[in-house]
Homo-oligomer: A and B are copies of this chain.
C-alpha cells in the first residue's frame, strides 16, 4: 500500500515491532516440545541468539559464556579489548564517568589505536574455551585488519556498520569490494545493517552467509532525530526475509540467514522478529541488562563517541539478573526482560509451532501499542 505524502512524493507504510502482535491460532503445544536450534554454515546453535559486538555487551568472558549457553558472542574488534591491554579498567572508567563528561572522554578513550596483537590474543582466549569464535569489524576497517582476524581464526566473521551496502562509492579511497572479499575468505561472513529489500538482496549476492537487519534502531541510538533516517524493524525484517526468499530462487538454493539487529528490547520483540522472518537475533540492550554484562548497568554503541556527529549516548540500563537467567530464567520480573529463550519457546508453543523456521509463518496483526 502506497500513500501520497504530497503531489511530488509517495511512501509506503512501515511498521515497528510495537505496531504488531502475534496471535494464537487453533493448535497449542507443550513448551518442552519446542526447539530453538539454529544452524548457519557448519555450525549449529541451541539458541538463535548472537550477542552484539558492543563493549557494554561482549567481553571475551561473555563471549565464552554465550558460547557455553548455546549461542554466540561477537567481540567488537575495534573496541576496548583490542585497543587496551587492560580493557577492564577502561570499562570501569566509562561506567563511572559523570554524564556531562561522558561523550568527550569516550571520544578520547576510543581514539587509542587498535593493536593487532590484541585482536590475536582476544580471539585466542575465546577459542581456548572451546566455543565458536566470532569477531566484528566495521566496513571502514575491514581491509586493514581482516588478515589479522583470519590468521587468529574465527568461525564467524561479522562486518557491521550502521548501513552497509554492497556498493559503497568513494572518491578518495578504494572501498571494500565485499564480493571479492567474501569469495576469497574461508569463513562464513555475516554483514549488515541493511534495512531494505534491495540493500539486502545486493548483500546476499556478495556471498554473505547472513545479513544483519537494522539501522541503529536500538535504545542507545538517535539516528531518527539526527539523520531523519528510520527503518521500523517489523517491516525491515519482513522485507529482508522477502529478499532471502527471492535470492533463494535466484541463486538456485542458497539460503542466506536473516538476523534481526536492533530494537529488540524485550522477549516480545524477539518473538516478533522471528514472526517477521528472522532466523536469529543479535541482542544489545537486552543482554546489557545482565548483572554480569561488561557494561555494568550502562550501555553504549560506537555512535556515542563519533567525533563530529554523535548519534547516541551512554544510557543507564536496569540490571535484571545474571546472563544465564536473562536467557533461560527463572525470571524474577514480568516485563519481558528475562527468560528470553523461555518466552520464545512459550510463545511458539502457545501458537502451536515447534521450530524457529516454522514459527516465521505465525499469524500477526497490526495492533499499535497503547496502554489498554
Contacts and interface: CB of A to CB of B under 8 A. Distances in A.
Interface of A: 1, 3-9, 11-18, 20-30, 32-33, 103-104, 162-173, 194-199, 201-202, 215, 217, 222, 224-245, 263, 266-272, 275-277, 303-304, 307-313, 329-336, 339, 342-343, 346-347, 350-352, 360, 363-367, 369-370, 372
A115 B163 CA distance: 55
15 contacts: A7-B197, A14-B21, A14-B366, A14-B367, A18-B370, A22-B229, A26-B166, A162-B350, A222-B336, A228-B275, A235-B365, A307-B330, A308-B331, A308-B339, A309-B343
A199 B237 CA distance: 28
A263 B370 CA distance: 12
Given A241-B8, A242-B7, A27 B167 contact: yes
A13 B2 CA distance: 13
A229 B351 contact: yes
A168 B351 CA distance: 10
A332 B103 contact: yes
Contacts of A14: 21, 23, 365-367
A16 B372 contact: yes
B304 A334 contact: yes
B271 A227 contact: yes
A365 to B, nearest CB: 4
Contacts of A194: 24
A246 to B, nearest CB: 8
Contacts of A8: 238-239, 241-242, 244-245, 276-277, 360
